[in-house]
Amino acid sequence: MQKMLVAASSAEHRTLLYEIFASQYELLQTDNSRELCELLQQHKDELALAFISETLAERITKEDAAALLSIHIFKAVPVLLLVPEETEPIHLPKLPIPFSDVIGCPINPTVVKKRVANLVGFFSSEKTLEQLVNDQTKKILEQNRELRDQQKKINTINNDVLDTLSMVIEYRDVESGRHIHRIRKFTEVLLQTLAEKYPKYHLTPDKIELITSASSIHDIGKIAIPDSILLAPRRLTYEEFRIMKQHTVKGCEILNQLDAVERNEYFRYCYDICRYHHEKWDGMGYPDGLVGDQIPIWAQVVSLADCYDALTSERPYKSAYSHEQAVEMIRTGACGAFSEEMMDCFSAVLPKFRDLAIRYADPSHADRNVKSPPPPAAVEKPEEHKKDIYQKMDRNDLIETVEHLKQVLADTRKGDRDVLYRLSDYAFEFDIANDMLHERKNSMKEIVGYIPKNYEEAINNLADCCEEEYRTLFIKFFRLRHLYEKLSEGEERVVLECRMDCAHAHRLPVRCAAVPLLKGDSIEKVFLTITILSGDEVNHRFDTDRDIVTG
């Protein structure tokens, strides 16, 4: 049986309340304020309710009140204040303890029973709800702990899989193990400086650690490049360089084929770095010709780190430039454009870059410029251990390992098309020779309201769906004559970002890309994709009023 406390100086009130509630509760009674406080503390977990007269409440000392408040008893036990007559709470004198309701005298048994039932029921529900919340909170905290543990395991798998790919590249003499380590070090130093100088990028220590780790797989796509091109001891021809440039897209395809790697924040950094580390601030990079802030900041950082390392390292077709020469070439734009922010950070870390380049130099030119001791074995140990695995494999096993990784890219043309389709929201294949449209992913009807019969009709209708300032530019970009011009210039695709109205939404920021395929001297097919941009992908220029043609 639950307990009820009746604390009143009037014996008549105590007797009446006893008669009303004795059958429902075990009653505790007192006419002393000190004993009242002791009973509240002793029975706080068993009390359903407390009646306290105004006179006794006024006698409670500040010390006793503070002790009661410190154990939060009034959140668990409702207090009915007994007053001489019905009084509004705002007219009562200030009391040292809180109360839940007021009962005026003389006491009406019917009224007081209803008040007690309501208060006890309400506080009981509050306790039940609080307990449910506490239980659920414990479960959520436990689940979060399990998720964190699982994420650590997943990240370990991610690192192992991607590091294995990186080591295979190294073993093929594409990059040295120290190149991978230098890129990580350069990336880490640049990110730390960027985080300090430009807080807007929200580069927390955890993000810096993830991005630094992801930087090591920037060139995994080179697995899919033929050895005759990859290991050529000379500068590449135009056609060879065109094939070499595909390593950015090939790397992303490899990542998408790795079922063991979870699609999380770390995967996003790996993917972006792999695809965009050759993009340039002025749009003159590859594979997508991104401009300015369209390039993820982590890809910009790795791009600068890779550029500096390429200049200061020996290659089969060139000697290493000195630190000073490399800095001058980067500053003058000889290696492509970087943002002012990146150049600001680069200038700030030049002494560190020089030290790292010397400390982790390849053995072939470790003594160039300045002598330095070899790097500590502890730093190189993880990479060297993995490299040893491949060095101990016999030729057939190594070939089998490499060929297994290359298999995902066996059909280059089909692979490129599949990547386009997978990364886009809408994909269409236009048979130019037969004047036909094949819908490969979602329907053109969702955008223009019906299905056009051929490429020209589709382009005109899609242009009509663009905002007015983009319509003329859209037709200019995607007409066949322009595609022929781009092919003659060595460009494999045409990309335009704009805003477009669709059947279900208006002014959507989208990226449209057309990839023409030649048969002889004529375009046989055009693959057209439309990707809806969101979040960080949306270029800030969509929020301005400037004209995209004139700037």
Q: Give pLDDT tens digits for 39-93.
A: 999 988 889 999 999 889 888 888 988 988 888 888 888 988 888 776 555 556 6
Tokens of 399: 């070939």
Instruction: Flag whether the pTM goes above 0.75.
Output: no
Highest mean pLDDT range out of 155-169, 370-384, 508-522? Answer: 508-522
Q: Say which residues have a Cβ less than 8 Å from residue 502's Cβ, sequence separation at least 6.
A: 446, 447, 465, 508
Domain spans in the chain, listed from the N-terminal domain onward: 3-107, 155-414, 424-543
Give the pLDDT score at 159: 60
Distance CA 327, CA 331 (A): 6
Judged against a pLDDT cut of 90, whether residue 203 lies above it is answered with yes
- Top-confidence residue, 504 or 69: 69
DSSP 8-state code for residue 4: E
**What's the rounded mean pLDDT across residues 487-509?**
82
- Residues 241 and 85: their CA atoms lie apart, in Å, by 96
Instruction: Classify domain 155-414 at the CATH superfamily level.
Output: Hypothetical protein af1432 (1.10.3210.10)
- 104-143 tens-digit pLDDT: 888 889 888 998 998 888 888 877 787 788 888 888 888 7
pLDDT (tens digit per residue) in 394-409: 555 555 555 554 443 3
Bridge partner list, 51: 6, 80
3-class SS at 237?
coil
Phi then psi for 81, rounded to 5 degrees?
A: -90, 125
Q: How far apart are CA 407 and CA 400, in angstroms?
A: 10
Residue 246 is inside which H or E element, if any? none
- For 3-107, CATH number? 3.40.50.2300
- For residue 177, name the pLDDT band (cuts at 50, 70, 90): low
Q: Is the dihedral of CA 320, 330, 288, 214 positive or negative?
A: positive
Q: Residue with structure tokens 């002790």? A: 67
Q: What class is the 424-543 domain?
A: alpha beta
Question: Could you give the 3-state DSSP secondary structure of residue 521?
Answer: coil
Predicted confidence (pLDDT) per residue in 95-107, tens digit: 888 888 888 888 8
Identical fold for domains 3-107 and 155-414, yes or no, is no
Rg, C-alpha atoms of the chain: 37
Q: What percent of the chain has pLDDT over 90?
A: 28
Query: Which of 431, 427, 430, 452 has its CA nearest to residue 440?
Result: 427
Residue 9 · residue 31 · CB < 8 Å: yes
Strand partners, 63: none
Please report the pLDDT score of residue 410 as a whole number. 41
Beta bridge partners of 315: 318
- How many residues make up the chain in this entry? 551
Which amino acid, 197? K
